[in-house]
Structure 1
Amino acid sequence: MHPIHLLYRLAQTVRGVYWRVVRPKVYGAKLLVRNRQSEVLLIRHSYGRSDLYMLPGGGIKRGETALDAARRELREEVGCRAEELALLGKYLDTSKGARNHVSVFTATTHDQPQIDGREIVEATFFPVTDLPANASTASRRRVAEMLGEAEIDGRW
């Protein structure tokens, strides 16, 4: 394992303990990004549940809007520019202890994902009807909501 992956895993562990003890209110943004073939972009992290494909995204910085955070996270994580952004919904995720308020946006990109191999170890477009078996439950639910196959209920 690359040493930087160990640092990311350590930081994730420390954050997880902090979130379970303090239960802070945090804000994040995620994206359902589609390419020209209408495939959806999923990523795998080098830390946490590194076996799961998830939507790209991350935390909202102080003074940043959710929309700006979504654009920034996509650019930082996979080097893609987000176009045609629209809010899909706002969700509350309490599964890790924090009260994580997540804004999920739909977007398109004409770029090919480029990973740095540190935080993100894989970024791949998948047909919306053929997501990988190890796609996270939340990612599957957001795709179903985007396609109109599930109602948005605000729970992660």
Structure 2
Amino acid sequence: MLHLIEKSAERVLPAPLHRALLQLAHKVRHRWRKWRKTPISGISVIVTNPAGEVMLLRHSYGPKAWGLPGGGMAAGEDPHDCARRELVEEVRLDTAQLKPLGVLNETLSGSPHTSHVFTVEVTQQPKPDGREILEARFFAPHALPELLTRNVPKRLAMWEAWKVQSKES
């Protein structure tokens, strides 16, 4: 649903109206998932810079907390392709160097959710779209903001474990 608003409104609606529609669509989608409980799939990407800082985003809808880039996968969409698409759409980062960290099975908005988690290091600065994403910033892993979305700690733990395993290999 959010992609329908994104694609149709991006060039037509002023950004404030677009953001308002995203907030409404987010609420409707949340209630729909709770009612239908249809399995869904998505991706999350842990984006780092050469200093080892982690990029977090603030969305224009949903909780007013910092989260990771990501989003839902279309039916039949490859997780790598979805991750690349989300990075371009949300923060204008175009990269092919994604490394898979693993898959999490969890519940999102009352629906079973499969999340493919990736990581990538970038040298360019994120450019939030100003519609879906209001802000994107890099934070040192030991100095993350207090207000994080609930899925961030589990994904960062996967990333930390991956870093330890990569050093041992």
Q: How does 1:142-153 map to 2 (within 5 A)?
A: 142-148=155-161
- Which residue number corresponds to residue 35 of structure 1? 49
2:150 alignment partner, one of 128, 137, 152: 137
Q: Does 1:96 align with 2:121?
A: no
TM-superposition CA deviations, 1:103-156 (whole Å, max 9, x none): 00111112211012111011111111111111223212322321129xxxxxxx
Indicate the structure (1 or 2) with the bigger Cα radius of gyration.
2
Could you tell me which amino acid in structure 1 is paired with residue 148 of structure 2?
Answer: A
Query: In 1, Cα distance between the equivalents of 2:150 and 2:103?
Result: 17
Query: In 1, Cα distance between the equivalents of 2:150 and 2:113?
Result: 17
Aligned residue pairs total 148
* Identity within the alignment, %: 37
Unaligned runs of 5+ in 1: 150-156
- Which residue number corresponds to residue 60 of structure 1? 73
RMSD over aligned Cα atoms: 1.7
Could you tell me which amino acid in structure 1 is paired with residue 48 of structure 2?
Answer: R
Does the residue aligned with 2:145 lie in a helix, a strand or coil? coil
Runs of 4 or more consecutive aligned structure 1 residues displaced over 3 Å after TM superposition: none
Higher helix share: 2
1:74 alignment partner, one of 84, 87, 111: 87
- Which residue number corresponds to residue 152 of structure 1? none
Query: In 2, Cα distance between the equivalents of 1:58 and 1:130?
Result: 25
- Which residue number corresponds to residue 17 of structure 1? 31
2:123 alignment partner, one of 98, 110, 113: 110
Unaligned runs of 5+ in 2: 1-14, 163-169
* TM superposition score normalised by structure 2: 0.81
Does the residue aligned with 1:84 lie in a helix, a strand or coil? coil
Q: Does 1:119 align with 2:132?
A: yes
- Which residue number corresponds to residue 154 of structure 1? none
Does the residue aligned with 2:94 lie in a helix, a strand or coil? coil
* TM superposition score normalised by structure 1: 0.88
